[in-house]
């Protein structure tokens, strides 16, 4: 079984609590968890299911070769 590496983006849900997760390299792949740990675990499951769906449909599985970086900057405006 091949291993893949993807960047996941964790979005804090201020109103509901927890985190929603997106996977930039896999459009349409989402997850949500109450804690950071749960969100990451559910994102891994969502990615595996997404890949399985792509394979079943005969679609190529995107691979992320250049991982995006997030940088926080302060801007006076």
Please give the model's pTM, rounded to 2 decimal places. 0.87
Tens digit of each residue's pLDDT (9 = 90 or more) over 17-73? 999 999 999 999 999 999 999 999 999 999 999 999 999 999 999 999 888 888 899
In order of their start, the domains of the chain are 1-77 (3.30.160.250)
- 28 φψ region: left (φ > 0), alpha (ψ -120 to 50), beta (else): left
Phi, then psi, of 64 in degrees rounded to 5: -95, 110
Closest CA to 53 of 20, 19, 27, 22: 27
Closest CA to 9 of 67, 74, 60, 63: 67
Q: Any idea which residue has 């595996």 for tokens?
A: 48
């Amino acid at each position: 079984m091949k291993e893949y590496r993807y960047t996941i983006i964790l979005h804090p849900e201020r109103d509901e609590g927890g985190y929603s997760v997106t996977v930039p390299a896999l459009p349409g792949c989402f997850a949500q968890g109450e804690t950071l740990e749960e969100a990451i675990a559910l994102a891994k499951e969502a990615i595996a299911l997404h890949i399985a769906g792509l394979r079943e449909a005969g679609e190529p599985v995107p691979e992320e070769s250049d991982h995006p970086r997030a940088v926080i900057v302060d801007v006076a405006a």
